[in-house]
Structure 1
């Protein structure tokens, strides 16, 4: 296998051997707990897409995204990334893809998801305090501001533009076709390879990235495209470095890291994804 599996029963000595030998690893369990098994300043860059608030059900008690309130969700994420800060090198970067959503108007039910009927949340949360029915919530920016307050440097808001976005049935606003990718750093100065990725005609990379969505056969629904991960990983790390994804899911970050001659560490709460992660790594 191209990576070691570390779970609650793995001894501290065995986990330490994995990282001292430079092996990639999947940490099975709650990210907040499993990150404690990773030595400080091990990871050069973090590329991740956390669960979005109250949009998908990952079938696990205590999952992030199923939080009762929006402030609880934001707090859950900042707690995880506080632990991420410890394992990140002093010149490390954190790239976070996070989508937004609209208020439910206090409607308690959710219409069935025809594409992913078994995964959609069966309930919707109450409209957050201070918002109105049909309001765009602004979750990504609430998260970004909370991260600033927690001590992170917010360095860029990258717009991921999806030309092939799925159509929406709404008739009173434009169809959504973008998400945010926030670039955070641990310190004022950090590793950023400006020549690693170029824009059209060799120009310096801009902060709007046109990248089409692209699923992976057999993967869970929340697969972000490899090209998105590739850009972040190339800019924020060098060959041989560790790339971390505290919400590994189907293993996209790990697969890209492997292709780029990086090592990876991924936390995943649902061990059902382990065979898929292994399959994707073997193909990369």
Structure 2
């Protein structure tokens, strides 16, 4: 019988700001242990968008499968994070589809249209708010992360909703996790104007970015995370890089960034936005 040895690909060195084009888990598995100080990210929301990629996250048939897939990604991210590092996650919620398997477009947001949608999760009813942010937060907590804060991202310019039987939702959650019980947190860098400790409700307007995909982070949401959880010269990682807002804010505050993005169009957009050279983009095959 002929046997062969499969060699593990060599680790990917971090020698400065870089964008990796590839699957988040695949790239994370090749990053060095304890190599980044801070993770800031917003994973794809479940059942919200079809990115037309077979490796995409967000269209798993069931909600537990979606949560478990994210757990696998953040478990690997935990290895990459320094022992005194911090993870910030923004994740949106949603309502059950009532078992509708499609969603119509609207004039303001054609990308809203989907030809496929997951079924209503087991145990939930039509019109139920699914509680996805807290389901993920508790799953990460059970997996070993320290859940340190739930920040309410209040959107003063939030989009109106055509609903008559509930309040319009104009907020999302931003969770703060640490890898260990003791970790780096510079509270003085994010004190409020009156000298108070930073509060847990952040009023930040959404901001459109021409050419960006539809889930662009507002820089003002990222700035407190960067300032409080990293030092100048540290590496800041976003495993779902999108249009590169985390990299942009990290760059402006003297940090190096590591972006991982599956979709080539978003990689190109982020590179242009960050004034990247082609040599700073590394394509990692699955």
Common topology (TM > 0.5): yes
SS of the residue 1:282 aligns to:
coil
Matches of 1:161 and 1:100, distance apart in 2: 14
Q: Which residue of 1 aligns with 2:5?
A: none
1:228-277 deviation line (CA, Å, top 9, x unaligned): 11110111000000000000011111111111110011110011122211
Q: Kindly state the Cα deviation for residue 58 of structure 1 after the two structures are TM-superposed.
A: 1.6
Give CA-to-partner distance per residue, 1:85-139, whole Å, 9 cap, x none: 0110000000000010000111222121433324643222111111111000000
Q: How does 1:41-52 map to 2 (within 5 A)?
A: 41-52=34-45
Cα deviation, residue 63, structure 1: 0.6
Give the 3-state SS of the residue equivalent to 1:223 in structure 2: coil
Q: SS state of the match for residue 196, structure 1?
A: helix
Q: Could you report, residue by residue, the CA deviation over 1:31-52 in whole angstroms, capped at 9, with x for unpaired residues? A: 1001122111010000000000
Q: Any unmatched runs of 5+ in structure 2?
A: 1-8, 277-286
266-275 or 254-263, larger mean C-alpha shift: 266-275
For residues 119 and 267 of structure 1, what CA distance do their matches in structure 2 show? 24
- TM-score of the two chains, using structure 2 as the length reference: 0.90
> What is the aligned partner in structure 1 of residue 4 from structure 2?
none
What are the equivalent positions in structure 2 for 1:134-153 lying under 5 Å apart?
134-153=127-146
Q: Which residue of 2 aligns with 1:178?
A: 171
Q: Give the corresponding residue for 1:4.
A: none
Return 5+ residue gaps in structure 1 as ranges.
1-10
Helix, strand or coil: the match of 2:189?
coil
Question: Is the contact made by 2:105 and 2:112 (CA closer than 8 Å) also made in structure 1?
Answer: no
Q: 1:102 to 1:173 in 2, by over 3 A?
A: same
* 1:26 aligns to 2:16 (yes or no): no
Is the CA contact 1:31–1:247 (under 8 Å) kept in the aligned structure 2?
Answer: yes
Tell me the residue number matched to 1:88: 81
Off by >4 Å, runs of 4+ in structure 1: none
Check conservation: 1:164, 1:212, Cα contact below 8 A: yes
Q: Which residue of 2 aligns with 1:190?
A: 183
Deviation track 1:133-172 (CA, whole Å, cap 9, x = no partner) reads 1000000000001001100000000000001000000110
| Aligned: 1:59 with 2:52 | yes
Equivalenced residues, count = 268
Identify which range, 271-280 or 248-257, moves more after superposition. Answer: 271-280
3-state DSSP of counterpart to 1:154: strand
Helix, strand or coil for the counterpart of 1:73?
Answer: helix
Taking a change above 3 Å as real, the CA distance of residues 37 and 120 of structure 1, as seen in their structure-2 partners, is farther
- Determine helix, strand or coil for the equivalent of 2:175: strand
> SS state of the match for residue 37, structure 1?
coil
Output aligned runs, 1:239-254, within 5 Å.
239-254=232-247
Q: Which of 249, 252, 261 in structure 2 is aligned with 1:259?
A: 252
Q: CA deviation at 1:216?
A: 1.1
Give the distance between the partners of 1:111 and 1:278, measured in 2 at CA: 32
